[in-house]
Amino acid sequence: MSGHSSYVPKTGIERWLDARLPIIRLTHDSAVSYPVPRNLNYLWTFGGILVFMLVAQIVTGIILVMHYTPHASMAFNSVEHIMRDVNYGWLLRYLHANGASMFFVAVYVHIFRGLYYGSYKAPREVLWILGVVIFLLMMAAAFMGYVLPWGQMSFWGATVITNLFSALPVIGETIVTFLWGGYSVDNPTLNRFFSLHYLLPFMIFGVVVLHIWALHVVGQNNPTGVEVKNVEKDTVPFTPYATVKDVFGMVVFMIVFSWFVFYQPNFMGHADNYIMANPAATPAHIVPEWYFLPFYAILRAIPDKLGGVIAMGSAIVVLAFLPWIDTSKVRSMSYRPIARQLFWAFLVVCIGLGYLGAMPAEGGYVIASQIFTVLYFGYFVALFVVGLFERPKTLPTSIADSVLASAKGGSAARMATATAAEPNVKG
Amino acid sequence: MTKTSFRLALTGLAAGLSLAAMQPAAQAAEAGPKPPALSWSFAGPFGKFDRAQLQRGFKVYKEVCASCHGANLVRFRNLSQPGGPEFTPGQVAALAATYQIKDGPNDQGEMFERPGRAADAFPSPFPNEQAARAAQGGAYPPDFSVLAKARTYTRGFPTFIFDIFTQYQEQGPDYIHALLMGYEEPPAGVTLLPGQNYNKYMPGHLIAMPKPISDGQVEYPKGPDGKSPVPETVDQYSRDVAAFMVWMAEPHLEARKRLGMQVMIFLVIFAGLLYYTKKKVWSRMPDGSPAH
Amino acid sequence: MAHASDTSTGTTRRDFLMLATGAFGAVGVGALVVPLISQLAPDAQVVAAGAPIDLDLAPVAEGQAIKLFWRGKLIFVRHRTKKEIDEALAVDIATLRDPQTDQQRTKAGHEPFLVVYGNCTHLGCVPLGNAPGEPKGDYDGWFCPCHGSHYDSSGRIRKGPAPLNLPVPPYAFTADTKIRIG
């Protein structure tokens, strides 16, 4: 889809610059004339929302660093200094803390959209794998950021998660000592986490550039999963069509974001993190932030230390192999009756795991976690098997046809002239 | 999604719900009763502190709690800033001057004591945690600065989801009020060791702090009729000090909610404009033909 | 609605809609910048730390000078000799770059004491001339080693690149040898 450029420099300066650094051409080709399938629904606005969230986190983060002190004895109070004394410090800090959560809300919607519409399938494998890399980097950044306020949850979260590496045979203990920079989580740990927390967003930014580059090479998937055949009929230019839609999506997302920032700023956090880190007392219920809960549940479901770590790691890594696990030729689950049900079941399993991750690791919860862990991995097995025999529904011949058919279906329903309209199967 | 998959999703949710139903039963035994949810002036999108209540709460803190509990992040000047108890700067300066603050070293290299200033933090009752523990039989009276945000109780499923929409976030003050009201004789079968007290709302029910306050202990400012406009009871003291603690933990709460309303109104209108702009743009294909 | 866009009223309405949306967006971005910029201003703690300070001048002997800080800024307090005072008074202020009399720069009845901010008005270095043995410049005051500004015994700029006299901070005598700065 990255065909020839339609950019025509208008002024002399533009021509001069274009011959030397075609940056306006690049912007024009990727954000103005870039063809977008015309049938994209609002789930496709989450890519733009994620870029917005990344920029918002970087901007608020850079500002918070101006007022934060990365030292074990001062970090907690410096965060409170931001909350109390810095002009609008409370706003910036709540934006950053809730922004992390909202970032994950958006990324999960983005991931599940990709899962439903088969956006990982050829030729988008590299695009998808880059996405998994971004997801991993985000998790690392979020984890290290959560350590910085140096509250009880920060401290014990850091202790528990870094101890995961001790499960590795032979080298495990050494790795943990190197992560800590000492014999326990302490000031050196805080300082290196702070350094890496500042670095990672820029690494994410770099991979996002690759992610978008790959996207613009292969073009966007769409709800039908049918490739663009006729650019004239099947697509619309990015600007103004996708731009205005993305901005609308962003603003609606910002309403939700603001609701938490202004009215429920501590909803996603833990009360225990308002107690300064105390190496002598662990809070009664250690739970990670909500976005890690499903993976945490998988970790705890396995009664073996190394096994749990491997299971948790596999739960993320398996996503990268999805393009080859899913054997079906059809992308969109709108046309896959069996796989679609598997998808919804998988969504419920993930939410269920999230719930179990927040519950104490005892009795029925452990058994339920084990069942749900099997179901989680079962999805990937089932997807492999189902693809081999599933009979998909008839695909529309083109994106334009599908748009026209659904428009006809819609108007037919309005006018109550009952001819058999194709069912509108958009998710 | 289609009907079948929707049904499937519902079944899954129902399974999750029944799973969740197990949870309160499991935890109720150890956690005790839930603190009653009180109505606070600072709750909800238009919430504001009640100045008189904060001033009373400060009096309770100063005369009762402060003998053991510090508030080292709160400074005297905070008491006169907008959105708080809003004492006058003169009152704050006079109040600060009644405290002796350790300062130094001076030119002779010695630490000295001087009267407090508005910029000083509330002096802690103990020089350090070890001294506090030594004086309190091993227990450490926690600092009050952010305690109202550090105390909570389990809301459970699905209440915690409703909380997003109702904006309920007063677990801290509800718990603090309940705790102060929750001192009881231990039930049969529970024997208290020296230094332990029984409290219905404390997780595990055993608390080191003895009942800290009783009716009539703090004298409230009198109204024009010569009587305090609010009762001088433990219930009222607890409400007032809990409200004061919320302010200490979240001194910019009023500004946050006020700005929040402005931002919300702006975003909703902006979203509306964008929606119609989007509709307009999408009504035609680039060549001018109707989109559908 | 869709059909109306062909007519002129439709175009006007669309233009107005676009304009309103764009204006709203611009206002939103503008409002967003406010907290991002105002966080750069001194925070409440810094502002509150600038409360007035008291200083006892009794230990400062004639001919001596001391340094202290108020609001993080360096302040010189100099107990001038008779000679230095006379020199400062003798200057014809018409010849000065930043014309100020010595009376304007000291408190009546306390002429021996000169209180000035201790950073050169050129680019902020600390001039020499407080400690015994340091160069005092050509005018018995201070000499800034960075770019060669000379201040006289009243802290006024006499020679070199600095444009202004060393400013006098707000202060008042609370007793014969006690001052409150701020």
Residues of A in contact with B281 (CB under 8 A): 240-241, 244
For β-strands A235-237 and A35-37, DSSP reports them as: antiparallel
Instruction: Answer whether C19 touches B (CB < 8 Å).
Output: no
Cβ-Cβ contacts under 8 Å for A355 (sequence gap 6 or more): A293, B16, B19, B20, B157
Burial C55-69, CB ≥16 within 10 A → b, else e: bebeebeeeebeeee
ipTM comes to 0.91
Mean pLDDT lowest among A81-95, A243-257, A343-357, C67-81: C67-81
Across the interface, whether the CB atoms of B117 and C51 are under 8 A apart is answered yes
Whether B137 contacts B193, CB under 8 Å: no
Nearest-angstrom CA–CA distance, A211 and A48: 12
Task: Provide mean pLDDT across the span A199-224.
Answer: 97
**Pick from A81, A89, A247: CB nearest C39:** A89
A81-90, A291-300, B131-140: least confident range: B131-140
What pLDDT, on the 0 to 100 scale, is given for residue A1?
Answer: 43
| E strand or H helix that includes residue C150 | strand C149-152
- Mapping DSSP onto H, E and C, the string for chain A reads CCCCCCCCCCCHHHHHHHHHCCHHHHHHHHHCCCEEECCCCHHHHHHHHHHHHHHHHHHHHHHHHCCCCCCCCCHHHHHHHHHHCCCCHHHHHHHHHHHHHHHHHHHHHHHHHHHHCCCCCCCCHHHHHHHHHHHHHHHHHHHHHHHCCCEHHHHHHHHHHHHHHHHCCCCHHHHHHHHHCCCCCCHHHHHHHHHHHHHHHHHHHHHHHHHHHHHHHHCCCCCCCCCCCCHHHHEEEHHHHHHHHHHHHHHHHHHHHHHHHHHCCCCCCCHHHHCECCCCCCCCCCCCCHHHHHHHHHHHHCCCHHHHHHHHHHHHHHHHCHHHHCCCCCCCHHHCHHHHHHHHHHHHHHHHHHHHHHCCCCCHHHHHHHHHHHHHHHHHHHHHHHHHHCCCCCCCCCHHHHHHHHHHHHHHHHHCCCCCCCCCCCC
Share of chain C above pLDDT 90, in %: 71
What does the alpha-carbon distance between residue C43 and residue A86 come to, in Å, rounded to a whole number?
Answer: 5
DSSP state of C95: G
Does pLDDT of A47 surpass 80? yes
pLDDT at B21: 40
**B186-221: buried (b, 16+ CB within 10 Å) or exposed (e) per residue?**
eeeeeeeeeebbbbebbeebebebeebbeeeebebe
* Residue ranges in chain B whose pLDDT is less than 50: 1-3, 5-10, 12-29
Question: Closest by alpha carbon to C155, among C107, C110, C109, C118?
Answer: C118
CA angle B111, B113, B116 (to 5 degrees): 130
The two most distant CA atoms of chain A are separated, in Å, by 76
Position A148 pLDDT exceeds 90: yes
Chain B window 262-281: which residues touch A at a Cβ cutoff of 8 Å? 263-264, 267-268, 270-271, 274-275, 277-278, 281
DSSP state of C92: -
Instruction: Report pLDDT digits (tens) over A167-187.
Output: 999 999 999 999 999 999 999
- Bridge partners, residue B100, by sequence: B115
Beta-carbon separation of B270 and C25 below 8 A: yes
Query: B280, B281, B283, B284: best mutation site toward chain C, by most C Cβ within 10 Å?
Result: B280
Cα–Cα distance for residue pair A418/A409, rounded to 1 Å: 10
Residue in chain B lying closest to C16 (CA): B277
Kindly identify which residue of chain B lies nearest to residue C21, measuring between CA atoms.
Answer: B273
Closest to B20 (Cα-Cα) out of B210, B163, B185, B161: B161
Tell me the catalytic residues of C: 147
Q: Residue C86 in contact with residue C140, Cβ under 8 Å?
A: no
Q: If we measure between CA atoms, which residue out of B165, B169, B138, B140 comes closest to residue B152?
A: B169
User: Contacts of residue C18 in chain B, CB cutoff 8 Å?
Assistant: 277
| Residues of B at the C interface, defined by Cβ within 8 angstroms | 75, 77, 81, 117-119, 266-267, 269-270, 273-274, 276-277, 279-280, 283-284, 290
Among B162, B274, B277, the residue to mutate for chain A (most A Cβ within 10 A): B274
Of A136 and B16, which is predicted with more confidence?
Answer: A136
Chain B and chain C share a number of CB contacts under 8 A equal to 41
Determine the Cα–Cα distance for residues B178 and B57; give it in Å rounded to an integer. 16
The third-level CATH classification (topology) of the domain covering A37-286 is Cytochrome Bc1 Complex; Chain C (1.20.810)
In C, which residues are within 8 Å of B77 by CB distance? Answer: 44, 48
Distances, alpha carbon B164 to alpha carbons A263, A397, B158, in Å: 9, 44, 11
| pLDDT at residue C182, as a whole number | 85
Q: How far apart are CA C56 and CA A411, in angstroms?
A: 90
CA distance A272 to chain B (A): 5
Q: What is the DSSP string of C2-46?
A: TGGGGSHHHHHHHHHHHHHHHHHHHHHHHHHHHHHHHTTSPPHHH
Residues of A with Cβ-Cβ distance to C41 under 8 angstroms: 87
pLDDT confidence tier of residue C4, bands split at 50, 70 and 90: very low
pLDDT tens-place string over residues C151-174: 999 999 999 999 999 999 999 999
- Which chain B residues contact residue C27 at CB under 8 A? 266
> What are the two backbone dihedrals, phi and then psi, of residue C146, each rounded to the nearest 5 degrees?
-65, -55
Distance CA B288, CA A374 (A): 53
Contact between B286 and A248 using a beta-carbon 8 Å cutoff: no
C13 pLDDT exceeds 80? no
Residue A181's region, left for phi above 0, alpha for psi from -120 to 50, else beta, is left
The phi-psi region of residue A256 (left if phi > 0; otherwise alpha if psi is between -120 and 50; otherwise beta) is alpha
Closest partner residue to B267 among A232, A251, A407, by Cβ? Answer: A251
Q: Which residues of B touch A236 (CB under 8 A)?
A: 285-286
Tell me if chain B has a CB within 8 Å of the CB of A384.
Answer: no
CB distance from C25 to chain B under 8 Å?
A: yes
SS3 C115: strand
Give dist(CA A228, CA A234) in Å, integer.
6
Structure confidence by residue, pLDDT tens digits, A183-199: 999 999 999 999 999 99
| A201 or A231, higher pLDDT | A201
Give CA–CA dist C146/C137, Å, rounded. 13
Q: HSE (CB half, 13 Å, CA atoms) of A25?
A: 17
Task: Determine contact: C45 vs chain B, CB below 8 A.
Answer: yes
* Closest C-alpha among A2, A30, A408, A25 to residue A242: A30
Closest CA to C143 of C164, C120, C165: C120
3-state helix, strand, coil in chain C (%, to 5): 30, 25, 45
Q: Do C35 and A87 touch (CB under 8 A)?
A: yes
**Cα–Cα distance, A154 to A287 (Å, whole number):** 11
Give the per-residue pLDDT at C14.
63
C1 or C59, which is more confident: C59
Token pair recorded at residue A187:
């000031």
Contacts with C72 (C-beta within 8 Å, 6 or more apart), sequence order: none
- Distance between CA atoms of A64 and A102, rounded to whole angstroms? 18
CA distances A413 to A200, B279, C2, Å, are: 51, 21, 19
Query: In whole angstroms, what separates CA B149 from the centre of its chain?
Result: 5
* Mean pLDDT computed over every residue of chain C: 89
Reported pTM = 0.91
Beta partners for residue A164, in sequence order: none
C61: DSSP letter: -
- Residue pair C165/C156 in contact by the 8 Å Cβ criterion: yes
For chain A, positions 185-244, list CB contacts with chain B under 8 A: 232, 236-237, 240-241, 244
- What is the residue extent of each domain of chain A? 37-286
Residue in chain A closest to B171 (alpha carbons) equals: A271
Average pLDDT, chain A: 92
Side-chain half-sphere CA neighbours of B36 within 13 A: 10
Instruction: Work out the widest C-alpha separation in chain C, in whole angstroms.
Output: 94
Amino acid, single-letter form, for residue B270? F
- Are β-strands C178-181 and C171-175 bridged in parallel, bridged antiparallel, or unpaired? antiparallel
Closest chain A residue to C36, measured at CA: A63
For A134, counting Cβ atoms within 10 Å of its Cβ (0-12 exposed, 13-18 middle, 19+ buried), the class is buried
Tell me the C-alpha distance between B171 and B168, whole Å: 8
User: Which pair of tokens denotes residue C166?
Assistant: 């060393």
Q: What is the pLDDT of residue B229?
A: 92
